[in-house]
Structure 1
Amino acid sequence: MSATMAFYPEPGSRVTCHDYGTERTPILNMWSAPVTLTLAGDDKLPLADHLAFARSLAAETAAYLAALERYAALTNQAA
């Protein structure tokens, strides 16, 4: 399965992690009306693969933040 989606944050957009302890894997939710993007694991994906994906997501999110902060500083738009 493959999909392509663009998510453009706006004022009021949110990212939330729902932690269920030992009940189930966590769910990551990105919301910007009217779009919701949910990342969740299920029993089909081995936990080791889910962890590898989550670590990659965290690394690329950190790279995105660093690039965005550089852009803001270079264009004098720092928040």
Structure 2
Amino acid sequence: MNTSRTAIVELAVPGHVSDQELANRLWQVLRQACQPAAGEGLRLFYPDPASLEVRVFGAAASELLPGYPANGS
């Protein structure tokens, strides 16, 4: 049985890139990463590309996660 999981990724992104633009781009990259390599044919992939959901919060991880170091180290 599949269970939902959350992965938190902290990226430094230029200010002119909106949260929605970043979410769209990350979704495209993750979906591409789930495609079979040439010659592999169809098989079960992890994660299932249809299950990808990307949310972008315009905040540092230290603002979202209690106890996370402010400098990201």
Give the TM-score normalised by structure 2: 0.37
Give the TM-score normalised by structure 1: 0.34
Q: Larger relative CO (CA 8 A, sep 6+): 1 or 2?
A: 2
As a proportion of its length, which structure holds more helix? 1
As a proportion of its length, which structure holds more strand? 1
